[in-house]
Structure 1
Amino acid sequence: MTRFELHGAAFRRSLSAPWTFEGVELSLPPGVYGLFGPNGSGKSTLLECMAGIQSLGKGTARFVLEGRTLADKRFRERLGYVPQQFAFYEEMNAERFLTYAAGMKLIPAHLVPDRVTEMLEQFSLADYRKFRIGALSTGQRRRLAIAQAMLNDPHLLLLDEPLEGLDLEERTNVMERLHELASYSVIVIASHILTEIEHWIERVMFLADGRVEGPKTPQQWKTSLLHESVRGGAAFPPEREPTLEDVYMSYIGRRGDRHGT
């Protein structure tokens, strides 16, 4: 059994600051999850707390693998994480960087060369393995960041805006690689790109005003929108199926109405 859990989770920057999020309850088995919310809603902070980079102010986080709760070194060995702004060693070449990252992840030395080569090939970076990172394009750097996160075949993979700067073909390749992990790994993608990736995502969570709702399947969210529209007397246009972006805009609008905005 693999599962990531948050119970009563809350975070704030200081004792005098408002809660960035509060009362978050999640229990995530393997699969691909999308985390959506407005800019500044706390998506990146939530991922940092899930990764153990930030400490929760209240509540608990727990990652269970094969019936055991992992913590500290054992947790980090099974974690992959890509922040929105990834800090590279610009003078390293791509191959050297992945080799260095493999060592930091405690991958056995005899496995590192083949694993590095595999990641370079999977993310179309093999021809650039000797290029300085500082000379790579934005898309190549983004793919390299994702490659380092997947070096250790993680069971918990957290990605913050991983598709930013990638063209459609590159996005498709990245999502295909993620789906290869999804049968046994919990994968959470924080993103503002909804319509282009909604068919890749198995469950969706929305974060706004410090609250997380979901996860639900995209179809469950769309069905909820249709039901709410009918109850409100303003049925969704029958000529088209609602998109996840329609659901998102409705969700954010309803949150604003509750708060008088």
Structure 2
Amino acid sequence: MTGGEATGGGVAGGDTDRRAYLTEHLDAVRSRLLDACRAADRDPSGVTLLPVTKFFPASDVAILRDLGCREFGESREQDAAPKVTALREAPGDDVRWHMIGHLQRNKARAVAQWAYAVHSVDSLRLVDALQRGVDRAREDGVRDTDLEVYVQVSLDGDTHRGGVDRGELDAVADAVAQASGLTLAGLMAVPPLESDPDAAFADLAGLHQWLLRSHPSATGLSAGMTGDLEEAVRHGSTCVRVGTAILGPRPVTSP
């Protein structure tokens, strides 16, 4: 396929320069991730690279899919939904979408229509909203699998930045595990501002080990971004969420 050809379903394949840019930067991040796994004596197959395509067009997703990516992160339902529709129309679609941004309860029903996983669940009320959303998606015939849920935990107690206080982690995790249509995948966290990522991810790893005592199947750990994926992998991350290092600076206007 040349850079200007379509990938099907009206999703433009992107121009040649954009394809070359994404190829170069994806290769560089894959190399970083491989090196991080080797340094941590971990099997690279145990760590998912999740390109974060928020603010970028469906054509970029199509290029990355051509380059072997099958899972993508989005943070706003209103931006994600058109991309999901466009990629569904592409032949052989096998893409999984992850909601990684803050999720309002009134968007839960819409997100349950397309998301494979939600990484930012941080309240009992959101758990309930997602359960009802999954039930409705099944009634509508657009979903036949459970929704994978990562409970986002606040490492510094500042829940205004997202994440449940660690004192409430057990209750939210239990609610997810008991909800029909939801599967407790594990934990997610973002290091506090100006914190030492190594220390933050060590703290998160300790919380994860604590969670596994009561929920042994919740083995997922969504941690690490462009600037700290090596530290996250060292402390057990199973999913690194990388945007800027692959796609570049945010566009002046979002799609």
User: Which TM-score applies when normalising by structure 2?
Assistant: 0.27
Compare the two structures and name the one with the higher helix fraction.
2
Select the structure with the greater relative contact order (CA < 8 A; seq sep ≥ 6): 1
TM-score, normalised to structure 1's length? Answer: 0.26
